[in-house]
Amino acid sequence: MTCRVQVGIVLCFTGCTAERLPADLIDLFEWKEASVLLDPFEDRPDNVECPTSSRVIEFEEETAFLEIDTLLCPYVTLYQETQVEILAGDTVVFPWGHRELEAPVPATGHVAFQIDGVLIEDRLVDIPASEMDTVVEVEMQENVASGSPVWLHLHNHGANQWLFYAAELQPM
């Protein structure tokens, strides 16, 4: 037996852990609409109507994303559970964007992404606006158990399309 194999065996018996790889935090197909009682965001209007037809999974160049059409759904909070554990020091990567934004009068949209009470993104977007894509990266300060709540929030003024890609975990 070579020294390298012997060292590897000794390390594994003394508590080594498997290498952690990048992983999807969420499943684009698993979003559920939050009721008024579950919604953690304070800007919810009184009469929210958001048909499921306003949200579709699209594919462009083999990349999947959730597209929300705000002509049909000007306010929505979606939720699901994390698919993997997050450790302090890991980075959460949240890519999102929008097509050209229009409104009859200047307005502001609100996008938020929250994991177990930690805001990863909380941005006000002036409308009108040119098409935009962005990637938000946040280093987590605390552990988050697999199965913890994830919230995606959109409040928009005007008939627009917003794009939300699968958030990803980058282990430390």
Is 39 among the domain residues?
Answer: yes
Residues facing residue 121 across a β-bridge: 113
CA 53 to chain CA centroid, nearest Å? 20
Per-residue model confidence (pLDDT) at position 46: 86
Angstrom distance (rounded) from CA 15 to CA 8: 11
- pLDDT, average across residues 11-25: 74
Q: Say whether pLDDT at 61 is over 60.
A: yes
Question: In this structure, are residues 104 and 66 in contact, taking their beta carbons and an 8 Å threshold?
Answer: no
Is 7 among the domain residues?
Answer: no
Is 85 among the domain residues?
Answer: yes
Residues facing residue 95 across a β-bridge: 135
Is 1 among the domain residues?
Answer: no
Is 147 among the domain residues?
Answer: yes
Angstrom distance (rounded) from CA 172 to CA 159: 40
Is 31 among the domain residues?
Answer: yes
Query: 164: closest CA among 112, 127, 124, 104?
Result: 112
Q: Which region among 8-17, 65-74, 118-127, 162-171 has the lowest average model confidence (pLDDT)?
A: 8-17
Q: Say whether pLDDT at 8 is over 70.
A: no
Question: In this structure, are residues 167 and 92 in contact, taking their beta carbons and an 8 Å threshold?
Answer: yes
Share of the chain above pLDDT 90, in %: 82
Angstrom distance (rounded) from CA 138 to CA 47: 33
Per-residue model confidence (pLDDT) at position 11: 46
pLDDT band (50, 70, 90) for residue 45: confident
Share of the chain above pLDDT 70, in %: 90
Is 37 among the domain residues?
Answer: yes
Per-residue model confidence (pLDDT) at position 13: 52
The domain that holds 59 is classified in CATH as 2.60.120.260
Q: Say whether pLDDT at 18 is over 90.
A: no
Tell the residue number behind the tokens 């990637």, with chain if given: 135
Q: Count the domains in the chain.
A: 1
pLDDT band (50, 70, 90) for residue 19: confident
Is 9 among the domain residues?
Answer: no
pLDDT band (50, 70, 90) for residue 14: low
Angstrom distance (rounded) from CA 113 to CA 95: 10
Residue-wise pLDDT for 133-145, tens only, equals 999 999 999 999 9
Angstrom distance (rounded) from CA 62 to CA 90: 26
Question: In this structure, are residues 130 and 99 in contact, taking their beta carbons and an 8 Å threshold?
Answer: no
Residue 79 lies in domain: 20-170
Q: Calculate the average pLDDT of the chain.
A: 91
Q: Which region among 2-6, 34-38, 109-113, 143-147 has the lowest average model confidence (pLDDT)?
A: 2-6
